[in-house]
């Protein structure tokens, strides 16, 4: 494959955009080389500026769960755009998508729309602090909740990739209110709650971690977390930016049958436009301005284009009763295929998967938290990544990222991918 035009475009971008990209993990720092510039995408495929075709396993990091340029979403956006793109005044479609989201997700009465997952998580902890009257929060090492100050403490994927988990610019004052825990370690949570009695406003968690590769919660872990939060007057925040509308209609809350106090959304909920949201039962949501004292706002929040894309996406997911089963089956098929070829080629690996989230770690030991996620063979991952690109398969350019499976993938695409992985495996030393 030729990447002449991509390389040129990257060189031009570097002159006017820091690192040539508007979000760090796009820059290939982890895997080396220069990023591929996309010209267009359709269904399961990306087409780059050099006219190469790549089967896409990142899907804009999750949103394109039904494939790129999905017609009902594109049409909804085009039709809405003709009517004006933002008013700073209420529109009917905001209520429509809110009603639909509230009907699909368990345990929420009201939802507030914002413009990104970052904003959703940032606002959710402010709300939790306002509601409980407490300052401190607990987050898990390796979990990513967007780039707001409180969360840039061992923040997973992007931050790990760049070796700066504690970013300059985050003040000590902010950092001291974020306590760190180990994922899947309930004893650790017990100790933190005990040592900070009546001080923890919220525990925020990715119910299935997706930003240190894919890491499922151990059996009973989320249940215990729920019980401890209830016992301590601490709110449980599920960051479902990745898992929401992906693992089930009702996300991880539905899949694991656990009630969170506040739920954050992003990615799929926007159908590929910039949308985030946070939701909770009335008692909590009524604490938010203009009803309550906790302030949160946005000029473009709930704008008609974003809402049209999100509504079209959620409507499809709500109507298609087989969608989550189909995604699970396709991803399981991929998992079985990858296991087979890696085993035949004597490569040490661990595959973690929940539904349509999957990741391959080049390490034979179990991967269940941030520390174990770091044990993979990085050089091997880099070779694997570049080998797959040559084969026309695009996975995330970092070992700390999950692959996101789209329903647009056919079984032929999956077989093509498994065969490509087989060939690439034979070249890994």
Ligand X SMILES: *Cc1c(COP(=O)(O)O)cnc(C)c1O
Q: Which is nearer to ligand X, 239 or 383 (CB)?
A: 239
Residue 185 CB-density burial (10 A; 0-12 exposed, 13-18 middle, 19+ buried): middle
What is the distance between the alpha carbons of residues 378 and 363, in angstroms, rounded to a whole number?
10
Q: Which is nearer to ligand X, 383 or 401 (CB)?
A: 401
Is 239 catalytic? The answer is yes
Contacts of 283 (CB under 8 A, 6+ apart): none
User: Minimum Å distance from CB 266 to ligand X?
Assistant: 4
What is the distance between the alpha carbons of residues 136 and 93, in angstroms, rounded to a whole number?
36
User: Minimum Å distance from CB 35 to ligand X?
Assistant: 17
Is 411 catalytic? The answer is no
What is the distance between the alpha carbons of residues 326 and 415, in angstroms, rounded to a whole number?
16
User: Minimum Å distance from CB 50 to ligand X?
Assistant: 27
Question: Which residue number has the CB closest to ligand X?
Answer: 117
**Which H or E element spans position 316?**
helix 304-319
Q: Are 240 and 277 in contact (CB under 8 A)?
A: no
Contacts of 349 (CB under 8 A, 6+ apart): 339, 342, 360, 361, 362, 363, 364
Spot the catalytic one: 144, 183, 368, 394.
Answer: 144
User: Minimum Å distance from CB 23 to ligand X?
Assistant: 7
- Identify any residues that bridge with 42 across adjacent strands, giving them in sequence order: 45
Q: Which is nearer to ligand X, 222 or 418 (CB)?
A: 222
Spot the catalytic one: 29, 80, 249, 267.
Answer: 267
Spot the catalytic one: 48, 56, 239, 363.
Answer: 239
User: Minimum Å distance from CB 147 to ligand X?
Assistant: 7
Residue 189 CB-density burial (10 A; 0-12 exposed, 13-18 middle, 19+ buried): buried
Contacts with ligand X by CB under 6 A lie at: 116-118, 121, 144-146, 206, 210-211, 239, 241-242, 266, 276
Q: Which is nearer to ligand X, 63 or 387 (CB)?
A: 63
Q: Which is nearer to ligand X, 263 or 388 (CB)?
A: 263
CA atoms within 13 A on the CB side of 3: 15
Q: What are phi and psi of 279, to 5 degrees?
A: -145, 155
Is 80 catalytic? The answer is no
Residue 331 CB-density burial (10 A; 0-12 exposed, 13-18 middle, 19+ buried): buried
> Reduced to 3 states, what is the DSSP secondary structure of residue 288?
strand
Q: Which is nearer to ligand X, 24 or 130 (CB)?
A: 24
User: Minimum Å distance from CB 400 to ligand X?
Assistant: 12
Task: Quickly count: other Cβ atoms within 10 Å of residue 26's Cβ.
Answer: 16
Active-site positions read 144, 239, 267
């Amino acid at each position: 494959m030729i990447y002449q035009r991509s390389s040129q475009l990257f060189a031009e971008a570097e002159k006017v955009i820091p690192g040539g990209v508007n979000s760090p993990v796009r820059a290939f720092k982890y895997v080396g080389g220069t990023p591929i510039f996309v010209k267009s995408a359709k269904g399961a495929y990306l087409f780059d500026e050099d006219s190469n075709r790549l089967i896409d396993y990142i899907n804009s990091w999750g949103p394109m769960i039904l494939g790129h340029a999905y017609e009902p979403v594109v049409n909804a956006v085009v039709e809405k755009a003709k009517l004006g793109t933002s008013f700073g005044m209420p529109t009917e479609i905001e209520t429509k998508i809110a009603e639909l989201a509230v009907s699909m997700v368990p345990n929420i009465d009201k939802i507030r729309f914002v413009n990104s997952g970052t904003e959703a998580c940032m606002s959710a902890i402010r709300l939790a602090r306002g509601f409980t009257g407490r300052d401190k929060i607990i987050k898990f090492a390796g979990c990513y909740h967007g780039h707001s100050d409180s969360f840039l403490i061992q923040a997973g994927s992007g931050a790990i990739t760049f070796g700066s988990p504690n970013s300059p610019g985050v003040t000590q004052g902010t950092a001291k209110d974020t306590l760190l825990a180990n994922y899947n370690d309930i004893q650790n949570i017990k100790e933190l709650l005990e040592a900070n009695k009546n001080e923890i406003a919220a525990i925020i968690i990715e119910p299935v971690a997706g930003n240190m590769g894919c890491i499922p919660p151990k059996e009973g872990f989320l249940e215990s977390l729920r019980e401890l939060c209830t016992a301590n007057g601490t709110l449980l925040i599920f960051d479902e930016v990745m898992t929401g509308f992906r693992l089930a209609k009702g996300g991880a809350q539905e899949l694991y049958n656990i009630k969170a106090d506040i739920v954050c959304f992003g990615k799929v909920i926007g159908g590929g436009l910039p949308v985030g949201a946070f939701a909770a039962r009335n008692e909590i949501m009524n604490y938010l301005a203009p009803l309550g004292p906790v302030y949160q706002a946005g000029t473009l929040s709930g704008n008609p284009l974003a809402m049209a894309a999100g509504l079209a996406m959620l409507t499809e997911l709500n109507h298609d009763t087989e969608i989550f089963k189909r995604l699970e089956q396709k991803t399981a098929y991929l998992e079985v295929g990858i296991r087979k070829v890696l085993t035949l080629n004597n490569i040490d690996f661990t595959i973690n998967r929940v539904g349509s989230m999957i990741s391959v770690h080049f390490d034979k030991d179990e991967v269940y938290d941030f520390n174990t996620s770091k044990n993979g063979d990085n050089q091997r991952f880099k070779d694997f990544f570049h080998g797959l690109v040559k084969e026309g398969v695009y996975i995330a350019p970092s070992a700390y990222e999950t692959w996101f499976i789209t329903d647009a993938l056919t079984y032929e695409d999956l077989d093509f991918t498994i065969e490509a992985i087989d060939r690439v495996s034979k070249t890994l030393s």
